[in-house]
C-alpha cells in the first residue's frame, strides 16, 4: 500500500482553469503538508494542516486553497491557473509535528499551457 498517494500524477490544463489535486495518507498521521517544487528544483512549503487545522500558510496566492475533510486527506484546489503555477506539487505527512519521518507522495506534475 502506498503511504502517501496523490492524484493525478500528471495534470495538463489551460490558463484560467480551476483544478484540484488530491492527497491521501494511510499512515494514521495527523499532520499533512503541501510543497511546491519549481523548475529550479527548489522545494517550498505552501501549507500545513494539523488535525484538520491550518497551521502553516506561507505566502501563497489566494487562488490556492487547501481543504482537509479529515486527517487522512489534504486536497489542493487552484483557481484561475497561471503559467507560473506550473511545477511539481508534493504532499507529505508526519505524526504530530515531529519532523523525523515525514513521508512524501510521488508528486503531481502540473503544466499550465
Partner 1 sequence: DAKTTQPTSMDCAEGRAANLPCNHSTISGNEYVYWYRQIHSQGPQYIIHGLKNNETNEMASLIITEDRKSSTLILPHATLRDTAVYYCIVRNQAGTALIFGKGTTLSVSS
Give the interface with partner 1 as residue ranges (CB under 8 A).
Answer: 4, 33, 35, 41-45, 48, 55-56, 90, 92, 97-107
**Cα 88 vs. chain centroid, distance in angstroms?**
9
> 14 or 59, CB closer to partner 1?
59
Residue 111 CB, shortest distance to partner 1, in Å, is: 14
CB-nearer residue toward partner 1: 63 or 98:
98
Task: Determine how β-strand 10-13 pairs with β-strand 108-112.
Answer: parallel
d(CA 14, CA 95): 36
* Least distance CB 7 / partner 1 (angstroms): 14
SS3 83: helix
Q: How far is the CB of 5 from partner 1 (least distance, A)?
A: 11
Nearer residue to partner 1 within complex by CB, 14 or 40: 40
CB atoms within 10 A of CB 38: 13
Instruction: Give the Cα separation of 96 and 14 in Å (integer).
Output: 37
**Which grid coordinates are listed for 84?**
507560473
CB of 74 to partner 1, least distance (A): 13
Amino acid at each position: 500500500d502506498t503511504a502517501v498517494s496523490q492524484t493525478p500524477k500528471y495534470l495538463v490544463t489551460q490558463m484560467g482553469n480551476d483544478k484540484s489535486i488530491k492527497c491521501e495518507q494511510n499512515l494514521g498521521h495527523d499532520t499533512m503538508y503541501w510543497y511546491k517544487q519549481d523548475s529550479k528544483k527548489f522545494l517550498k512549503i505552501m501549507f500545513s494542516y494539523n488535525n484538520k487545522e491550518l497551521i502553516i500558510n506561507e505566502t501563497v496566492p489566494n487562488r490556492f486553497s487547501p481543504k482537509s475533510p479529515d486527517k487522512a486527506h489534504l486536497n489542493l484546489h487552484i483557481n484561475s491557473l497561471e503559467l507560473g503555477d506550473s511545477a511539481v506539487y508534493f504532499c507529505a505527512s508526519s505524526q504530530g509535528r515531529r519532523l523525523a519521518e515525514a513521508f512524501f507522495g510521488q508528486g503531481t506534475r502540473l503544466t499550465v499551457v
